[in-house]
Amino acid sequence: MLWLWNTSSREAYPDERLERSANALNSEKIMQSLTTTLYPTSVSPPSLDLYPLRQTVSSVLSPPTAGYNRRGMASRGESASFKPLAARQTSISGDGDGYCTLVDFAGYGGGGANVGDDLVVLLYHLQHACKRIASLVASPFNSSLGKLSVNSSTGSDRDAPKPLDIVSNDIILSSLRNSGKVAVMASEEDDTPTWIKDDGPYVVVVDPLDGSRNIDASIPTGTIFGIYNRLVELDHLPVEEKAELNSLQRGNRLVASGYVLYSSATILCVTLGSGTHAFTLDHSTGEFVLTHQNIKIPPRGQIYSVNDARYFDWPEGLRKYIDTVRQGKGQNPKKYSARYICSLVADLHRTLLYGGVAMNPRDHLRLVYEGNPLAYLVEQSGGKASDGKREILSIQPVKLHQRLPLFLGSVEDVTELESYGDVQQTVNPGYEV
């Protein structure tokens, strides 16, 4: 209750009109706080002069529907409609007072990369699929899906796909079909690639939902993807053969790659060939907003990420490395800490920001769907990716579901680890290789 002070009688008494006015004012402030999105980054919040840009982009880029293809986006005309606006009113360089969405960023050149309109359209549809997966993962009505299994010949029972994996896979496949820009999609959930369109300019490899077996424990999950150019020299081959060969390209031929982290925030981290950048999903607008531009992984960290429970299965070199850095007796005099989520995307995301090394020393992770896309992303941020002996991007895949050890992180940390020689685990892999 609010009170008025009577100066003549020097007494206070309640005033209902002031109470009603104060309640109305408080309600208005509360509503404003609920509808205001904060961007705790170097990118400033949107100003009023950006709203025409948002309306223009959203009117051109309406949510994809079945049959939505290049005619709906007018191939090259679409990018021409928003590139000038993005150039004038978004803050890709961080010097303006605007903010930047993923589509704006890619359409304006992706931080300096020569990104064509076809890739912009593809990224638009791919990010739309990931928004749907983010909603699916967070839905209480789908939590039971993570507990079920589906028969598959691609891995062990422990790694067998769950219905949630299959639904995520279907969502991505549908979006790629609608884009009209993809020739073939190869997925960790499928035994063979799916041929989509003869003249699609791109090849997409994807792990639709990495870490889904932890979904009912609310542990972070992620989507991993890589994008290659279609090999036109293979167009004369039968569909099955050219689909597989297009999907087995070496990692150093990637055009773009990235991951989407589904956690307390939904973050899309991507490289278009010129640096690594992260975009956070703004749930009030449905847009991925640039929050981490040009990520540079520290040259050395103080964290290692690995399943310590397998310590006695590790080779001598890996045990010696871990023992050394934990005691602060390595090249870095500081003692290292262990941080392990058992979610590849989450462990790598932390490593990108803080430095160190994330690893799985077993022949466990798939080169095509996980190793190559993440290695490209790490190298574009100034880090290093290795199987313990070779650079990941230099390895020629020979099978779609080929597995290998994976060491990702700071250049100095990964290089120091490799110097111990025997770091690849061959004992007790935990499944049939």
Summarised one tens digit per residue, pLDDT across range 347-371 is: 999 999 999 999 999 999 999 999 9
Q: How far apart are CA 130 and CA 149, in angstroms?
A: 22
pLDDT at residue 150, as a whole number: 55
Better-predicted residue by pLDDT, 62 or 8: 8
363 is catalytic: no
Domain 102-145+160-294 has CATH 3.30.540.10: yes
159 is catalytic: yes
Better-predicted residue by pLDDT, 60 or 177: 177
* Predicted confidence (pLDDT) at residue 79 exceeds the cutoff of 50: no
Q: How far apart are CA 227 and CA 113, in angstroms?
A: 15
Better-predicted residue by pLDDT, 389 or 86: 389
pLDDT at residue 217, as a whole number: 84
Residue 215 CA to chain centroid, in angstroms?
A: 17
* Predicted confidence (pLDDT) at residue 94 exceeds the cutoff of 60: no
User: What's the whole-number mean pLDDT along residues 277-300?
Assistant: 97
User: What's the whole-number mean pLDDT along residues 119-140?
Assistant: 95
pLDDT at residue 33, as a whole number: 41
- The catalytically annotated residue of 159, 170, 313, 391 is 159
- The catalytically annotated residue of 78, 104, 363, 370 is 370
* Predicted confidence (pLDDT) at residue 83 exceeds the cutoff of 50: no
User: What's the whole-number mean pLDDT along residues 372-391?
Assistant: 98
Half-sphere exposure of 427 (CA within 13 A, CB side): 10
* Predicted confidence (pLDDT) at residue 131 exceeds the cutoff of 90: yes
Q: Where in the chain is the domain with CATH 3.30.540.10?
A: 102-145+160-294
Q: Where in the chain is the domain with CATH 3.40.190.80?
A: 303-419
pLDDT exceeding 70 applies to what percent of the chain?
71
pLDDT at residue 158, as a whole number: 52
**DSSP sequence for 97-127:** S---BHHHHHHTTTTT----HHHHHHHHHHH
Q: Indicate the pairing of strand 202-210 with strand 182-187.
A: parallel
- The CATH class of the 303-419 domain is alpha beta
Residue for token pair 């531009």 = 293
* Strand partners for 417: none
Q: Contact at 8 Å (CB) between 336 and 303?
A: yes
Residue 42: band (very low, low, confident or very high) from pLDDT cuts 50, 70, 90: very low
pLDDT at residue 213, as a whole number: 80
189 is catalytic: yes
pLDDT at residue 108, as a whole number: 87
Q: Rounded to 5 degrees, what angle do the CA atoms 337, 340, 341 make? A: 145
pLDDT at residue 320, as a whole number: 98
- The catalytically annotated residue of 190, 210, 347, 418 is 210
Global pTM reads 0.77
Q: Which of 60-74, 153-167, 184-198, 327-341 has the lowest mean pLDDT?
A: 60-74
Residue 73 phi/psi, 5-degree rounding, is -110, 0
To 10 degrees, the CA torsion angle through 303, 307, 313, 317? -20
- The catalytically annotated residue of 209, 261, 281, 393 is 209
Q: What is the pLDDT of residues 194-233, one digit of tens each?
A: 999 999 999 999 999 998 888 878 899 999 999 999 999 9
Residue 121: band (very low, low, confident or very high) from pLDDT cuts 50, 70, 90: very high
Q: Which of 7-16, 134-143, 220-229, 300-309 has the lowest mean pLDDT?
A: 7-16
- The catalytically annotated residue of 78, 104, 165, 287 is 165
207 is catalytic: yes
Q: How far apart are CA 253 and CA 118, in angstroms?
A: 17
Residue 4: band (very low, low, confident or very high) from pLDDT cuts 50, 70, 90: low
Q: Contact at 8 Å (CB) between 193 and 247?
A: yes
**Which parts of 183-265 fold into alpha helices (H)?**
239-247
Better-predicted residue by pLDDT, 6 or 33: 6
Q: What is the pLDDT of residues 49-65, one digit of tens each?
A: 333 333 333 333 344 44
Q: Contact at 8 Å (CB) between 336 and 304?
A: yes
191 is catalytic: no
Q: How far apart are CA 257 and CA 380, in angstroms?
A: 10
412 is catalytic: no
- The catalytically annotated residue of 78, 104, 117, 188 is 188
pLDDT at residue 114, as a whole number: 73
- The catalytically annotated residue of 117, 118, 190, 207 is 207
Please give the mean pLDDT across all residues of the chain.
Answer: 81
pLDDT at residue 99, as a whole number: 84
Q: Which of 85-99, 150-164, 382-396 has the lowest mean pLDDT?
A: 85-99
* Predicted confidence (pLDDT) at residue 10 exceeds the cutoff of 70: no
- Name the 3-class secondary structure at 162: coil
User: What's the whole-number mean pLDDT along residues 155-166?
Assistant: 65
